[in-house]
Structure 1
Amino acid sequence: MVSRGEWLDAGLELLAAEGAPAVTIERLTGVLGITKGSYYHHFKGASGYKAALLEYFELRYTTRLIDLVEGTDDSRTKLQHLLRLVLSDPDSAALEIAVRAWALQDGDVRAAQERVDKARTAYLKKLCRGLDTDVDPDRFAQLLYLILIGAEQVVPPIGKRDVREIYDLVLRLID
């Protein structure tokens, strides 16, 4: 039997590669090479799967990263660690784009995206408030987040290496 996590990983992969319309039970069972029984064992239909997928997205791409960063010392080290983690995942940009596009068409997804954005910016604000700088920490946190979101949304997206260089530049500017 396929685990709940495998169902959710497959859903995120389909979402990133082909967008929300591709995330159907038929496509998922085809990708996983199994029948629908396991799906209904783990989820209560399409709405249950969507809710679990959005929760998993939030956990994997927001909560988990914050938890990993919290193990380090000062705010600057935490911020640099967070930026490295975010920029180390080569597939995250496609997924972020797909979730944001889906949020434009689905209220539940929009609510989940709002929660994710609020959690991410709140954490960035916390880190930026710990920096020793004359720059408004809340605005600086928003700037850092907007750099990432903007870099992912332009066509073609700005590569992770270039975003890293932009972050290095911005961090040098506040020193």
Structure 2
Amino acid sequence: MVTKTDWLDAGLKVLADEGSLALTIERLTTELGLSKGSYYHHFKGTGGFRTALLEHFEGKFTTRLIDAVERRPEADASTKLTELMNLVLADPDSVRLEIAVRAWALQDPEARAAQERVDHARTAYLQALCRGIGSVKEPDHLAKLLYLILIGAEQIVPPVPAAELRALYGTTLSLATGAPFLI
């Protein structure tokens, strides 16, 4: 039996591959090989699906990552930052999805609000981590810079490969902390 999460994961795949205009009932039922009845069992129409999809994106690509890092509350901020960056860089397929959600946010107020929540949560968490690294002079600026490096690296064509992005993060953090920082 197909679950609500299966529908949402299929929606994220369609969104990443084809953009927000492809998020139709017909496209999703084709993707999963199911009937519209199964779709309506889980969602109250397209609006309900899109709301749930944005929440799923936020949970899977923001909240889940923060929660994974915070499973080790005793770890210092540098260790947590390294772990977070490794988690982010471990999923190269998420780049297309991130681009698709940002494009959708330019056209849809609900997607824009979700993107704003995601950006705020991510930068706030990065700020908290950077504030915990004692040698950083401008931790809030560093946090924004780290996030902007990721967003920019995803937006250029082709996107910056994870290995190069890892090196850019290492260089940035070494410059900011005055000490070698390996990601």
State the TM-score, normalizing by the size of structure 2.
0.94
For residues 2-52 of structure 1, the C-alpha deviation after alignment (integer angstroms, 9 at most, x for no partner) is 110000000000000111111111010001001011110100000000000
1:51 aligns with 51
Distance 1:82 1:134, change over 3 A: closer
The letter of the residue matching 1:99 is V
SS of residue in 2 equivalent to 1:145? helix
For residues 35-91 of structure 1, the C-alpha deviation after alignment (integer angstroms, 9 at most, x for no partner) is 011110100000000000000000000000000001231100000000000000021
Equivalent residues in 2 for 1:108-147, closer than 5 Å: 108-147=110-149
1:3 aligns with 3
SS of residue in 2 equivalent to 1:56? helix
Report percent identity of matched pairs: 62
CA distance in 2, matches of 1:38, 1:119: 33
Q: Aligned pairs, how many?
A: 175
1:70 aligns with 70
1:158 aligns with 160
**1:135 positional shift:** 2.1
CA distance in 2, matches of 1:52, 1:116: 15
**1:134 positional shift:** 3.8
1:83 aligns with 85
**Is the Cα–Cα contact under 8 Å of residues 130 and 136 in structure 2 kept in the other structure?**
no
Q: 96-105 or 160-169, which moves further after superposition? A: 160-169
Does residue 31 in structure 1 map to residue 25 in structure 2? no
The letter of the residue matching 2:115 is Q
The letter of the residue matching 2:161 is G
SS of residue in 1 equivalent to 2:140? helix
The letter of the residue matching 1:149 is I
Q: CA RMSD in A?
A: 0.8
Deviation beyond 4 Å, 4+ runs, structure 1: none
1:61 aligns with 61
Structure 2 stretches lacking a partner, 5+ long: none
**Is the Cα–Cα contact under 8 Å of residues 62 and 122 in structure 2 kept in the other structure?**
yes
The letter of the residue matching 1:135 is K
**1:103 positional shift:** 0.3
Structure 1 stretches lacking a partner, 5+ long: none
CA distance in 1, matches of 2:63, 2:149: 20
